[in-house]
Structure 1
Amino acid sequence: MSRIDIPAVQSATGATADVYTRVKKLAGGRVPNTYAALGYLVPPSFQAFLDAHAALALGSLSQQDLQTIKLLVSVKAGCDVCVAAHSFLAKMAGLPVDVLRAIRAGNATGDAKRDALIRLVSILQDTSGSISQDEFAAIRAAGYTDTQLAEISLAIGLITFTNTFNRINDTDVDFPNVD
């Protein structure tokens, strides 16, 4: 059970109600537990978070790339809510179950570009300091542009925020079980 109690979504008023209305438009009429808590606790900051996600969605990374990043970072952080959510969303973005299993395990998927992305994200999550010149060359050789490298960084930053909050809150998982 989540550690932080929040009022029922239906009782929200003011800035929180505004955030929930926005989330419902994005999430098919529902407010996932993580978003309900953050929308209640920090509505202006959460609006900025949603704005950053909207900007990222307009960027040059595909939804499959974004979900690959978010899923892998969530696995490495140990965030069961985000692993479930991004497994579900990755499947909706067209990634097959066997590819999702490989991403969660940190294994090769058979797609050279996706595997280069997995390698870069893994290195960034597992190490500190700058990546090596060889790693930089490898991700560029896989076809990722400088703009996409900035977008990868933003995607990692955004998912790290929700991973961290869910780990603090022990947020209840409200997405389907992972295959």
Structure 2
Amino acid sequence: MSRIAIPAIESATGATADVYAQVKKVAGGSIPNLFAALGYLAPASLSAVLNAEGALGSASLSRQDLETIKLLVSELTGCDYCVAAHNLLGKMAGLSPDVLRQIRAGQPTGDARRDALVRFVRVIQQTSGTLPAAEVDAIRAAGYTDAQLADISLAIALTIFTNTFNRINDTDVDFPPVR
């Protein structure tokens, strides 16, 4: 059970009700547990996340690239909620169950461009300080533009935020479990 108790979604008022309505439009009428808790506690923060996700959705990375990043960051962070969510969203974006498993395990997927993205994100997440020029050169050589490097950065940052909140809250997973 999540650590932070929230009132029934239907009882929300003010900014919380407004952001819940925004989520329902995007999520087809439902509100995932993460968004329910965050919207109750910090509706402006949830609104910022939704706006940033909207920017990513219309940016230069494909849905498959975004889900690759989000799944890998969630795996490396140890957020079971986001791993389950991005495993499902990755399938919806067209990534096969085998590719999703390979991304999580750090194994080659058979797609050189995706493998370069996985390597790059892994290096960012597992090191500190300025990245070596060779790492930036490698992701560029795989076909990623400088604008996409900015989008990769935003995708990582948003995922770390939701991962961190879920780890604090121990948010109840409301997506199919990942084995």
Shorter-chain TM-score tier: over 0.9
> CA-to-partner distance for each residue in 1:50-101, whole Å, 9 max, x for gaps?
1111011000100000000000000000000000000000000000000000
* Paired letter, 1:29: G
Q: Does 1:5 align with 2:5?
A: yes
Q: Does 1:97 align with 2:97?
A: yes
Q: CA deviation at 1:129?
A: 0.8
Q: Does 1:79 align with 2:67?
A: no
Normalised by the length of structure 1, the TM-score is 0.98
- Counterpart in 1 of 2:138? 138
Q: CA deviation at 1:9?
A: 0.9
- Counterpart in 2 of 1:39? 39
Instruction: Tell me the SS of whatever aligns to 2:149.
Output: helix
- Counterpart in 1 of 2:23? 23
Count of residue pairs brought into register by the alignment: 179
Find the aligned partners of 2:107 and 2:8 in 1 and give their Cα distance.
Answer: 40
- Counterpart in 2 of 1:127? 127
Runs (4 or more) in structure 1 with deviation over 2 Å come to none
Q: CA deviation at 1:167?
A: 0.3
Find the aligned partners of 2:130 and 2:99 in 1 and give their Cα distance.
Answer: 28
> CA-to-partner distance for each residue in 1:93-122, whole Å, 9 max, x for gaps?
000000000011111101000000000000
Normalised by the length of structure 2, the TM-score is 0.98
Structure 2 residue runs of 5 or longer lacking an equivalent are: none
Identity %: 69
Structure 1 residue runs of 5 or longer lacking an equivalent are: none
- Counterpart in 1 of 2:118? 118
Instruction: Tell me the SS of whatever aligns to 1:51.
Output: helix
Find the aligned partners of 2:49 and 2:95 in 1 and give their Cα distance.
Answer: 25
Find the aligned partners of 2:34 and 2:76 in 1 and give their Cα distance.
Answer: 18
